[in-house]
Chains A and B, each alone.
Chain A
Amino acid sequence: MESLMAYVIGILFAAAIYMMLRRSIVKLVIGLIILSNAANLLIFAVSGMTRGAPPLIPEGAAAPLGIIADPLPQALILTAIVIAFGVLAFAVVLIHRAYEVVGNDDLDQMKDTDT
């Protein structure tokens, strides 16, 4: 399972970079979305994937027994998803506004501020 995830994450990162290098701003945002998902999956994979073992402490015990799934990475991913959602919503509005103002979705037409 871990090695499969490793491949999936690698492909996602590659796809994200490829999309970000395209000239269209819509594809740029799609690249950013895939990138944030790849990062989230990476956290999930490296922190150890455990199946069917919720981190619950049985009654009377002071610590969980046996191997449990680590709840912290899941909390991290949840936070990261929420942040990415907010930021990407902004990015979508931004490219829409940019398209309205510039009248084109080609990044090569947006070089006026470059030096």
Chain B
Amino acid sequence: MSPEVVLPIIIPLFAGALTLAFWRSTFYQRWISLFATFALLGAGVWLLESTREAGFVVMQMGGWAAPFGITIVADLLSAIMIVLTGIIGVAIAIYSMADTPDKHQKFGYFPLMHLLLAGVSGSFLAGDIFNLFVWFEVMLLASFALLTLGGERSQMEGAIKYVTLNLFSSAIFLSAIGLLYGMVGTLNMADIGDKLSQVEHTGMVNVLAMMFLISFGIKAAAFPLFFWLPASYHTPLVGVSALFAGLLTKVGVYALYRIFTLIFIGDTEFTHTILLWIAVLTMLTGVLGAAAQFEFRRILSFHIVSQIGYMLLGLALFTPLAIIGGVFYIMHHIIVKTNLFLISGVVYRLLGSYDLKKLGGVYKHRPGLAILFLVPALSLAGLPPLSGFFAKFLVIRAGLEVEAWVATAIALLVGLLTLYSMIKIWAEVFWKKLPEGIDDSRLTGKKTDKQLWVMLIPVVGLTVCTLYIGLNGEPIYQLASEAADQLLNPAGYIEAVLGERP
């Protein structure tokens, strides 16, 4: 028995039910949320400890032996993702205590948040491909509701695109599962990986690989199907945006990492070359889209797309160093991106706008906040010694080693353009003078805002995490390299799930 592998699913589900029970009292809902997310983080750390010790933690639901029952399995990558989910959960729970309007809290903001976290954790731990689909849907449904909570026009418009593309992707995912089952007769991912090597029709396997690639590519916001993301991520509350930005697309990336290291590895010449070009185009279109924007959250949304490209590049190069870089990149990105969204929310609280043209003068009155922005922003652009530098360094070095010159050159160029975007935000929001006619009473401190410091706690915490990853790179690198090692040797995963084979 190893309860730590199911705790990350049970805790948010239970917390979701508990907050529902306290529907009328937003006070209890907030504190339950805080405790539950801390518990989730604790469970994640516990899981990480046991996976580092044992390699894999496997649990067969209901005692049915794999591949017949549903398997919950954690390897190091899953455990890392769960820890990150916990960190983001805690950050959002604290931030939401201060910055969630009553109207949202009364309509189930906190229960939905926990449901979303349960869906995300479930996706990371599912060892069965249909189970993965179900957790995806749990996560999606919660995200639909969170996205539309508030019911403003822009939210409705964004939500229609978000819902349509995600449902389309789910339908492709479901069809692909059906076809895969028709071919190998099993749903357990380890068993599929084991059996697929014996299938003769490689053409059909590649078709399936492409179906999964499209489906997860939509969810990960990869080129060319990312348009739902910049159309919707800037519409809901900042807390919701930050939660989505940190976790949702990364579930798609995680699923791609899982299936393209475990299942579809027979014809990497074909599949991973396509992945490589998708990665390159994702990086480039994302960063160019951001360069054209002049709104805080829209710029950040486009940068999510461009950063997804780096993670996919790590997977596509498919060398040990590249996978290490990819895993490192995911760890760095989740923390930094959520942090930047939260800072955009703090600035909105101070000046009442996301439009760069209507912002300014923050550095003059709040230099501390400006520094808090600068750390994740420069980290995103990949300046040493911050976390983004090491992440980019690993991926680009892996690119140079396999002589993928074009991809590496574009990765470097995108880093430069990212810096351009971040400097644009810095210059417009923090450095330039505040334009005439903007109410600056909150910024200068004439009007006191008692809850502002609560919003700054998660920002400071996540900045410390970024600095920790950057300044203490060696242990994190070690962790990423152990995770990559497991990903590149799927035999270990298969053996852990299915047991010893003759």
Docked CA distance A115–B232 (Å): 10
Task: Mark out the residues of chain B between 149 and 182 whose CB falls within 8 Å of any chain A CB in the assembled complex.
Answer: 151-154, 156-161, 163-164, 167-168, 170-172, 174-175, 177-179, 181-182
Cβ-defined contact, B160 with A46, below 8 A: no
Cβ-defined contact, B158 with A83, below 8 A: no
Given A36-B171, A115-B298, are A107 and B181 neighbors across the interface (CB < 8 Å)?
no
Residue numbers in B under 8 Å from A76 (CB-CB)? 130, 177-178, 181
Given A46-B182, A97-B156, A113-B232, are A90 and B177 neighbors across the interface (CB < 8 Å)?
no
Docked CA distance A91–B232 (Å): 16
Given A32-B164, A35-B168, A115-B231, are A94 and B157 neighbors across the interface (CB < 8 Å)?
no
- A50 CB-CB contact with B under 8 Å: no
- A114 CB-CB contact with B under 8 Å: yes
- A63 CB-CB contact with B under 8 Å: no
Residue numbers in B under 8 Å from A43 (CB-CB)? 174-175, 177-178, 181
B141 contact from A87, A107, A112, Cβ within 8 A:
A87
Task: Mark out the residues of chain A between 40 and 68 whose CB falls within 8 Å of any chain B CB in the assembled complex.
Answer: 40, 42-44, 46-48
Given A72-B181, A87-B140, are A113 and B163 neighbors across the interface (CB < 8 Å)?
no
Chain A: CB-nearest residue to B290:
A115
Contact residues of B with A, CB < 8 Å? 130, 133-134, 137, 140-141, 144-145, 148, 151-154, 156-161, 163-164, 167-168, 170-172, 174-175, 177-179, 181-182, 187, 227, 230-232, 234-235, 289, 292-293, 298, 302
Cβ-defined contact, B235 with A113, below 8 A: yes
Cβ-defined contact, A112 with B157, below 8 A: yes
Cβ-defined contact, B231 with A87, below 8 A: no
B224: min CB distance to chain A, Å = 15
Docked CA distance A25–B159 (Å): 12
Task: Mark out the residues of chain A between 92 and 115 whose CB falls within 8 Å of any chain B CB in the assembled complex.
Answer: 94-95, 97-98, 101-102, 107, 110-115
A39: min CB distance to chain B, Å = 4
B415: min CB distance to chain A, Å = 22
B179 contact from A46, A91, A114, Cβ within 8 A:
A46
Docked CA distance A73–B185 (Å): 10
Secondary structure type dominating chain B contacts:
helix
Secondary structure type dominating chain A contacts:
helix
A112 contact from B133, B153, B298, Cβ within 8 A:
B153
Docked CA distance A2–B170 (Å): 24
Known: A79-B134, A101-B152. 10 other contacts (CB 8 A): A36-B167, A43-B181, A46-B178, A47-B181, A47-B182, A87-B137, A87-B167, A94-B159, A115-B289, A115-B302
Residue numbers in B under 8 Å from A112 (CB-CB)? 153-154, 157
Residue numbers in B under 8 Å from A97 (CB-CB)? 148, 151, 156
Cβ-defined contact, B160 with A95, below 8 A: yes
Cβ-defined contact, A48 with B148, below 8 A: no
Given A28-B164, A35-B171, A112-B157, are A83 and B177 neighbors across the interface (CB < 8 Å)?
no
Contact residues of A with B, CB < 8 Å? 20, 25, 28, 32, 35-36, 38-40, 42-44, 46-48, 72-73, 76, 79-80, 83, 86-87, 90-91, 94-95, 97-98, 101-102, 107, 110-115
Residue numbers in B under 8 Å from A114 (CB-CB)? 161, 227, 231
Cβ-defined contact, B153 with A102, below 8 A: yes
Given A83-B134, A94-B148, A102-B153, are A39 and B160 neighbors across the interface (CB < 8 Å)?
no
Cβ-defined contact, A42 with B163, below 8 A: no
A18: min CB distance to chain B, Å = 13
Docked CA distance A46–B302 (Å): 39
Residue numbers in A under 8 Å from B159 (CB-CB)? 94, 98
Cβ-defined contact, B292 with A86, below 8 A: no
Cβ-defined contact, B178 with A47, below 8 A: yes
Residue numbers in B under 8 Å from A102 (CB-CB)? 153, 156-157
Residue numbers in A under 8 Å from B168 (CB-CB)? 20, 32, 35
Most chain A CB within 10 A, of B152, B157, B159, B232, is at: B157
Pairs A–B under 8 Å by Cβ, sample size 19: A36-B171, A36-B174, A38-B171, A42-B175, A43-B175, A43-B177, A46-B178, A46-B179, A46-B181, A47-B181, A72-B181, A80-B133, A87-B144, A90-B141, A94-B148, A94-B156, A113-B157, A113-B235, A115-B292
Chain B: CB-nearest residue to A33:
B167
Docked CA distance A20–B169 (Å): 13
Cβ-defined contact, B178 with A115, below 8 A: no
